[in-house]
């Protein structure tokens, strides 16, 4: 199975809209949303009649204080570097799960052996199925860490649910260059990068390209809203030429897009300039995967 990852160095470039449109245009049977901090691909691509299976996701373990054993001596507070321990009204201590990093130093110094580690649910994974189509996604709990590990779980669930070495899988990645993006990039055949003809768009495109090259990932560029700034578009094109990055398509600014997305509809069902431009991109993708 060939894997395409749609990325953007910054948020708001149209990455998810492009992903959703390509999923329908290419009739993709396996796709995923790895933006686990704020997943939204399901709003367009996962219909009500689809079956969904949710599973809790366990992040790193955190400390837990047995209130019956705690004497309130405060030794744990003295060594905690993360301000994760809170005094209760009865004089004992309890752990703030949002601050605890699971280092277990408090357990080491506790004279009453009142502190132990416990599993911590930091999110959930979801696998949607409909006939022969599979969609894998996840939601990280607010304030939780280990987003990269959760991304890897999303990709594993997709691989487990579909036959190996068949067809194309499309993955909607996270914006930026952080941990979830790095986890998304492993095992990818083509990174489709969406940018805008703006200073911030070009700046963040350079960052994500640099990150992707560490993985020796094949790259193709999509310039969205390419007609809003001719000079800015030329600067992006010049950078791509300098770095030998192929531009797979230009998508014009189109007010139809926001109206369509707000209705929860797929751009592939609408006849407009942007959908026509994405259609041309969809036609080129198979040849880019073969190169």
3-state secondary structure the chain: CEEEEEEECCCCCCHHHHHHHHHHHCCCCEEEECCCCCCCCHHHHCCCCCEEEEEEEECCCEEEECCCCCCCCCHHHHHCCCCCEEECCCCCEEECCCCCCCCCHHHHHCCCCCEEEECCEEEEEEEEEECCEEEEEEEECCCCCCHHHHHHHHHHHHHHHCCCCCCEEEEEEEECCCHHHHHHHCCCCEEEEEECCCHHHHHHHHHHHHHHHHCCCCEEEEEECCCCCHHHHHHHHHHHHHCCCCEEEEECCCHHHHHHHHCCCCHHHCCCHHHHHHHHHHHHHHHHHHC
Listed as ranges, residues in the chain with pLDDT below 50 are none
**pLDDT score for 142:** 82
Residue located via tokens 């979801």: 126
Q: What is the mean pLDDT of the chain?
A: 91
**Angle between the 273-290 and 15-25 helix axes, to the nearest 10 degrees?**
70
Q: What per-residue confidence (pLDDT) applies to 161?
A: 85
pLDDT at 199: 92
Q: Give the count of alpha carbons within 13 A of 199, CB side only.
A: 0
Smallest Cα–Cα separation from 225: which of 201, 199, 243, 250?
Answer: 250
Q: What is the pLDDT of residue 164?
A: 66
Q: Tell me the per-residue pLDDT of 128-187, one tens digit each, with 9 for 90 and over.
A: 998 889 999 999 988 777 788 899 999 999 988 886 657 899 999 988 888 889 999 988
Reference 3, options 184, 190, 133; nearest CA is: 190
Locate CATH 3.40.50.300 in the chain.
2-57+123-290
Q: Which pLDDT does position 165 carry in this prediction?
A: 58
Contacts of 232 (CB under 8 A, 6+ apart): 196, 197, 198, 199, 201, 202
Tokens linked to 86: 């809170």
Query: In CATH, what number does 62-118 get?
Result: 3.30.70.20
Going from the C-alpha of 125 to that of each of 97, 122, 257, the distances in angstroms are: 20, 10, 29
Q: Where in the chain is the domain with CATH 3.30.70.20?
A: 62-118
* pTM of the entire predicted model: 0.87
Tell me which fold the domain 2-57+123-290 belongs to.
Answer: Rossmann fold (3.40.50)
Question: What is residue 284's predicted lDDT score, i.e. its pLDDT?
Answer: 93
Over the stretch 274-283, which tens digit does the pLDDT of each residue have? 999 999 999 9
Give the pLDDT of residue 178: 87
- Quote the pLDDT of residue 264: 85
């Amino acid at each position: 199975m060939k894997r395409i990852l749609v990325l953007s160095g910054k948020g708001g470039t149209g990455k998810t809209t492009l992903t959703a449109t390509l999923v329908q245009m290419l009739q993709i049977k396996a796709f995923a949303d790895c933006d686990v901090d704020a997943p939204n691909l399901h709003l367009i691509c996962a219909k009500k009649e689809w079956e969904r299976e949710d599973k809790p996701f366990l992040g790193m373990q955190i400390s837990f204080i047995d209130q019956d054993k705690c004497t309130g001596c405060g030794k744990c507070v003295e060594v905690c570097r993360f301000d994760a321990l809170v005094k209760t009204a009865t004089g004992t201590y309890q752990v703030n799960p949002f601050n605890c990093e699971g280092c277990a130093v408090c357990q080491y110094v506790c004279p009453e052996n009142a502190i132990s580690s416990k599993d911590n649910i930091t999110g959930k994974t979801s696998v949607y199925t409909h006939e022969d189509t599979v969609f894998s996604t996840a939601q990280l709990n607010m304030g939780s860490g280990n987003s990269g590990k959760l991304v890897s779980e999303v990709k594993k669930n997709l691989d487990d649910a579909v036959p190996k070495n068949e067809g194309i899988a499309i993955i909607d990645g996270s914006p930026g260059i952080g941990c979830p993006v790095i986890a998304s990039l492993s095992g990818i055949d083509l990174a489709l990068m969406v940018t805008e003809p703006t200073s911030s768009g070009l700046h963040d495109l350079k960052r994500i390209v640099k990150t992707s090259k560490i993985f020796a990932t094949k790259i193709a560029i999509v310039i969205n809203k390419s007609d809003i700034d001719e000079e800015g578009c030329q600067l992006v094109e010049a950078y791509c030429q300098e770095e030998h990055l192929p531009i797979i398509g230009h998508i014009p600014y189109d007010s139809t897009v926001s109206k369509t997305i707000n209705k929860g509809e797929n751009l592939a069902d609408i006849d407009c300039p942007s959908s026509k431009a994405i259609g041309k991109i969809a036609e080129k993708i198979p040849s880019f995967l073969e190169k």
